A and B are shown apart, each in its own frame.
Chain A
Amino acid sequence: MRKLEEVLRDWEAVIGLEIHAELTTLRTKMFCGCKLEYGAPPNTHTCPVCLGLPGALPVPNKAAIESIVLAGLATNCDIERRSMFYRKNYMYPDMAKNFQTTQGPVAFCMRGHLDLAVDGPAARERVDMAGLSEGEARGNLVRTADGYTAHVGITRIHMEEDAGKMVHVGGGEGRIAGATHSLVDYNRAGTPLIELVTEPDLRTPEEARLFMQKLRQIYLALRISDCSMEEGSLRCDGNVSLRRRGEAAFGVKTELKNMNSFKNLHDGLAYEICRQAEVLEEGGRVFQETRHWDPTSKRTIVMRTKETADDYRLFPEPDLAPYDLSEEFIERVRAKLPELPDARAARIGRDFGLSSYDARHLLDNAEVASFFEACMDEAAAEAGELAKPVANLLINDVTAYLNAHAGEALADLPLTPARIVELTRLVAEDAISSKQGKEVFAAVVAEDKDPAAVVEERGMRQVSDTGAIEAVVDAVLAANPDKVEQYRGGKTGLIGFFVGQCMKETHGQGNPKVINELLAKKLG
């Protein structure tokens, strides 16, 4: 198979996402008062409604409706005042009623969009960006200084309920294949679920990943879901098809399941794009089918083929009254809208003089962004000066640490705004080098000590005393007259050699800035 980069030169991928989010921050289920709790013993949070007992009737959770309206407002959707619940009929053992209560043609939220900022190497996957100058638009994208922004349409967000959980027994690794029987737990059945469906506006796996990430940040900011991909409270399916560059007609799409992390979403889509390209390039046909991404073998596998469209016998749910949301209801929800990640990034950038790139990436993790703001409070008068180094430390070191230690949260680390400010101040004041700064950061995290204490303990104080350093510089120059000659003859690259020698003589504690200045003076 060819590489994604190459494939995307000849083919345009057309990607749409269906993103399910459980409203885990609510207390109770969608249609009954059973407690929402992940990981409880099986079938301990059930009642006649969510067990689908004969005679039970649903009553919708008002807080869930407020949550979906909030989600719609935050994603630029039109809020439909009039909508209904429908029954989607199909039999499956984890669905107690054997129909899923969901919405019909009109959902609570319709016609929204999100704008994605894409930069860095990922931006280059979008080959149709080539040739555009900054500010110029083509299709759904606008060229920016460091990449582009893509306008991604949201078809709808509808309200529905989650199914129970099944464990397959008797086969290998809990798989359906080979299982002799299955165990059903209805604790999750009836969990409020909102499903967002995008327009087929995404063109690269990276855009899909960024969309998912951005939506997650928004939902987290709204506090409507814990958005845990590991626990399945945020789930994503993708639809992918290819068409030759320049063609308008869509190709046959496949549906991709089990992309339960950002990496799997990206890699699954990338694989599927390359697979389809290979099939088409060999003169084959892509079949409309559902495929399962297997991260272990790094392949997508056919789950089932869809020769005909599924017929779910959808009809309006007679047990639930229709909705006619008042303007007042919607405005009351709107008043609960918090500052959203885009607005927050813009404000942080503006307030602290950060680049839009830095501000955006601070917002990749809302916790990190909040921490940044706390650091700025701590820095007080020095905030303007320390903003950039603190942002860098958070975007690079802290994020790298968190990425490498899945499951740990920033709040669990022995990092405080005071410590971060102290550390960046040490570097900014040349008390330690930036390389030493990284060492101190690691020590602070590992040993739960203040940065100054680490510096003291390890004798790391950077030597910035010009007199002491001058003696070293002189000695180094005296010991290497041939190199001094070559340098003066034009081999200015040798400056690195002299700096290195000086650092060696100062046991790494000489301030490189001072060394550089003195060398320049004495060699110049």
Chain B
Amino acid sequence: MVGIVSFGAYVPFNRMDRKRIGEATGDPTAPGEKAVANYDEDSVSMAVEASMDCLTGLSASDVRNLYFASTTAPYREKQSVSTIAAALDIPMEARAMDFTGSLRAGSGALLAGFDAVKAGAGPVLVACSDCRLGAPQSQWEQIFGDGAAAFLLGEDGIIASLEGSKSSVAEIYSQWTPDKGDHVMSWEERFYITQGYNRFVGGTVKALLEEKGLAPGDIAKIVLYGPNPRYQMALAQSMGFSIAQIQDTLFLTVGLSGASNVPMMLAAALEEAKPGDYILAATFGEGCDALLFRATDALGSLPPRRGISGFLKSGKNTMRYNTYLKWRQLLVTEPPRRPDPTRPSAPAMFRERRKKYAFYGSRCLACGTPQFPPQRICVHCQAKDNMEEYSFVKKPAVVATYTVDYLTFSQDPPAVFAVVDFEGGGRMICEMTDCDISKIDIGMEVEMSFRRLFEAGGISNYFWKARPKR
């Protein structure tokens, strides 16, 4: 038997009330808010967050396969999953692959992962993350939101077994982003809803239920992709599902997150599932993938994690439309009179990958002092080459002191820098993110978050920042 062993999710701290769009543009707006990745977040950094949540209580060194699914990978050529693997400290012997180009990338990665587990490839971590861009003042700009979900697939300790799946493929234009395009484009919706979404999603779900000898009433939750909640409800109800059975699309709280949308809904469904529950998830994009899960007794013994509900609880929805435009670089502002960041060095990044991505420092074996970055000679006792690797990733930390920097280059000035002291020893001076300047104070609890610091020379430069504990 194969299935889901663990799951996790991530919702950005910042949310924009959709009313803010209307206030700026005069357009009518949909209700609710959309989750907005900070300027230093992207699909890769959010995938790392969701994966860390998923691996709560588990060891990344047991992961043998890592798949990343997104329509918004930072590179056309160069894997993104390798960045995620490095940040999660997954062994270099792992098999890693990006799944992209379709809203079904998430479900495709899950299905490929289950096949790999069945074939004996060992546990597979699937991270689904998206940060899609609708053109300013388009309906997609209002509908889209950012977020991620991750699942560990395996054979042992399954919390939800994979009971079956069905897929379909159809050459149909519903939405697309051209190679050189900046934002998602789409066909007139009546066409792709009636001829694509209703037909393929409805048909594939129905075929799966029939194969398993199940009726809609047997399913606890239908985790159904929906271009918007109206079409989702209409399709689900037409198939015989009641409103109580339909998993929330997260439209009001996150928005439509693309390839990670159904995976995030699935994570939310698992957070509320009871052992024995059937959960049916179905995605849409040039066809449909439908996956049937059944929660097991092990679900109850999964260690607590943040998940969708945890991350939704901490957030700020005061951001303005103007800020959103700046973060997505849709509004070009005058740069500060400071040098632009230079691209990081590929050899230096490769050499320092344990520090830069997995956030290892060192600990002196002579005096026990943890230190970051890793040192050859101990900062405390000067012992030479007597260090062990020491992970700072999940160490609780507090702000020792801080400053608000109005002068330095930042995509969202002013930048905040903090001296961060880790429990058990060790200190670093780093940038803060997702941080309310009026609330930051000495002694504030912080945690480390993997971020995209800047892009230079076509290279997305990732490293860790501190954020107020969520």
Q: Please say whether chains A and B are actual partners in one complex.
A: no
- Hey, which bits of chain B sit against chain A, CB under 8 A? none
